[in-house]
Amino acid sequence: MKTMKKLILIALLIGTTISCEDFEDWNVDTKNPAEVPASFLMTSAQRTIFIRMSSSSVNYNIFKQLAQHWTPTTYTDEANYDMRQRDLSGTFFIYLYRDVLNDLQEAKRLTAENESLNAAVKANQLAVIELLEVYTWHVLVDTFGDVPYTEALQGIGNLSPKYDDDAGIYTDLFARIDGALANLTDAASFGSADLIYSGNTSKWKKFGNSLKLRMALRVSDYDNGMATSMASQAVAGGVFESQSDNASFPFEDGPPNNNPMWGSLVQSGRSDIIVANTFVDVISPLNDPRASVFMDDNIVPYTGGPYGANNPFANYTHAGAPFHQADLEGIILSYEEVEFLQAEAAARGLISGDAEMHYNNAITASIAYWTGDDSTAAAYIAQDAVKYDAANWKKSIGEQKWIALYTKGFEAWSSWRMLDYPMMNTADVSGLPVPRRYLYGNDDADINGANYEAASAAMGGDALDSRVFWDITGQGN
């Protein structure tokens, strides 16, 4: 009993000599920090961008299906362009706003307020964040058309943001790219926290100019003068020159940082995806050296599943071996795409240069990337069905670019909307043509009704066949 009394007395004495402040550290959750470094937010945003853009899950996006590279076997609603059942539009919208743009906005705030940062390093970090934001906004505009922009990301400060005009957003994005490029110097930036370029600002400059070139081509049918100015500036500023410039992400050989295509094709243990007949019918007659990489040889000859149909998995061609690898890198902007963009820009007269040379460079680069060898490129390009046709450059570039962009669904779909090639199939069950845009999310009308109605009216209706501002010509016109 005396021992117990002594222990209680000691405890009381300790309690009288320790202030409440001494216990503050006891309430800190070290696994869930209240404050997150800007570099962590930037890394997280990069990872999210690549996961969402690379995914083949209908819960995240259906870009590979809109491009008709792949088609499902059993669950065909989305392949028939039903965007309402799973609200895939709303899900994709939320991921980019909540998990990318919000993180980047907070990273920008923390970086700007960090007084310990060297001024040049701070400027570079802010420029890198800005270019990632511009990329994300451009994806949203190209996917939906009018979207919340000037009043977006204000939290409880504005729960009903207006939808801005898509053309106006693009104009502002061009200005933001220019501002970011002007602020990039040879000083350090994010270093190893930057999983795309490891903090290399010269690579980020090329990315900014290459993204500017892509967006310049987008507006070429809408505003040729703007397109000419932006494209010529981008090329003069320096665009991608080799595959080492690719905007790529190093996925890992297993969860949780694996390529999401592996998750759908392998980890899921399901047999849900096959190569679409659209792709097989275009590539098979061309003796394409990439065919054996893009597609498995489980069926001889290659046999694509009718797009949008209920297709038995065993009866049709499967995706090739690289797409079954967990650590296949993700790419959102590549050297071969930039060469195709320069070919198109030259064909349109936006820049000086040899369109055929850039076209050949693009095909050669794609063959080298996927096969590890460009020795077959010259013979492939020399075929009548492949060689550049200046009189019908949209067909030449449109078909070959679409092949080179295999599994890069967002850009392949966007290229088709620009160039109208290749010819796409109507969905087997619904009979619908390829959508020109995503529908707005299922909840938009209830949560932000007045602004949703205004945006829908401005878009010509919240419909699959409504067009973003730059999609002026197309199949079915």
Q: What is the DSSP string of 78-103?
A: GGGT--TTTTHHHHHHHIIIIIIIHH
Quick one: 180 exposed, middle or buried, by C-beta within 10 A (0-12, 13-18, 19+)? buried
* Helix H or strand E encompassing 71: strand 70-72
What pTM did the predictor assign? 0.92
144 dihedral zone (left: phi>0; alpha: psi -120 to 50; beta) = alpha
- Quick one: pLDDT at residue 35? 72
What are the residues whose beta carbons fall under 8 Å from the beta carbon of 277, sequence distance 6 or more?
A: 71, 303, 304, 305, 306, 307, 425
- Quick one: pLDDT at residue 14? 38
Burial profile 107-136: b = 16 or more Cβ within 10 angstroms, e = fewer: bbebbeeeeebeebbbbbbbbbbbbbbbbb
The CATH number that domain 38-249+328-458 falls under is 1.25.40.390
- Residue 21, CB half-sphere, CA atoms under 13 Å: how many? 0
| C-beta separation of 78 from 147 below 8 A | no
- Quick one: pLDDT at residue 25? 54
Handedness of CA 375, 378, 379, 380 (dihedral sign): positive
- Quick one: pLDDT at residue 34? 56
Low-confidence ranges of the chain (pLDDT < 70): 1-34, 473-477
Q: Inter-axis angle of helices 335-348 and 201-218, to 10 degrees?
A: 40
What percentage of the chain carries pLDDT values higher than 70?
A: 92
Among 321, 327, 404, CA closest to 369? 404
- Quick one: pLDDT at residue 474? 52
